[in-house]
Amino acid sequence: MTRSTIRNTVGAMRRQAPAAARNRQPILDVLRPRLPARGLVLEVASGSGEHVVHFAEALPGLVFQPSDPGAEARASIDDWVRTLALGNVRPALALDAAGDVWPIQRADAVLCCNMIHIAPWEAAIGLIAGAAHVLPTGGTLYLYGPYRREGRHTAPSNEAFDRDLRQRDPAWGVRDLEAVASLAEDRGFGSPEIIDMPANNLSLVFKRL
């Protein structure tokens, strides 16, 4: 999902991302047995908000904290929450993954979908550093998106997507799974559980050691 795929809906603030409608249920199927029954879940780069409201509806025992650096995205998130009358989703926070200080002190899980390839590498560094700071021992960091494995793309479509991203911004691009895992290990996470997802994406599930 890219920011350009998010389009306005009938509401002035609520937005839709076609990819979110396709992948939110497969992501939920991975998250359901891996998130705690109770606790606070921080989503970084919530985008339109369609992921977080889908998860919150399905997992009412959890409290979700969405976030995004963009004001329009935060307005969309809050509009979705109001529309669906969800009591277990907090107002969206202004959070830049690459920022030195996050506006939240603790969470039991951190989720981030489709961000690190549509951002400079510094965002991935900040995301993992921030997650390490807010998560307790045993806390979950979940990442979703396309990755290269052993220096190779997993599908021709991912290679074409990577080329398109780098043409749009040389700092963007599909990341090497091994580089992300190494970054997480350096911040106190274990090796990731890797789950194949539709459309040549991967779920990476890290546990804080």
Q: What is the pLDDT of residue 7?
A: 43
Sheet holding 39-44, edge to edge: 62-65, 39-44, 109-113, 140-145, 201-207, 193-197
Q: What is the pLDDT of residue 1?
A: 33
CA dist 21 and 139 (Å) reads 27
H or E segment and range at residue 57: helix 50-58
Q: What is the pLDDT of residue 19?
A: 84
Lowest mean pLDDT among 3-12, 37-46, 82-91: 3-12
DSSP codes of every residue in 76-141:
HHHHHHHHHT-TTBPPPB---TTSSS-S----SEEEEES-TTSS-HHHHHHHHHHHHHHPPTT-EE
Q: What is the pLDDT of residue 2?
A: 36
Q: What is the pLDDT of residue 11?
A: 52
Q: What is the pLDDT of residues 112-160, one digit of tens each?
A: 999 999 999 999 999 999 999 999 999 999 999 999 999 999 999 999 9
State yes or no: pLDDT of 28 exceeds 60.
Answer: yes
Q: What is the pLDDT of residues 79-122, one digit of tens each?
A: 999 999 999 999 999 999 999 899 999 999 999 999 999 999 99
CA dist 169 and 174 (Å) reads 12
What length is written for the chain? 209
Q: Which residues contact 198 (CB under 8 A, 6 or more apart)?
A: 22, 23, 26
Task: Quickly tell me which residue has 């926070």 as its tokens.
Answer: 93
DSSP 8-class letter at 191: P
> pTM of this prediction?
0.93
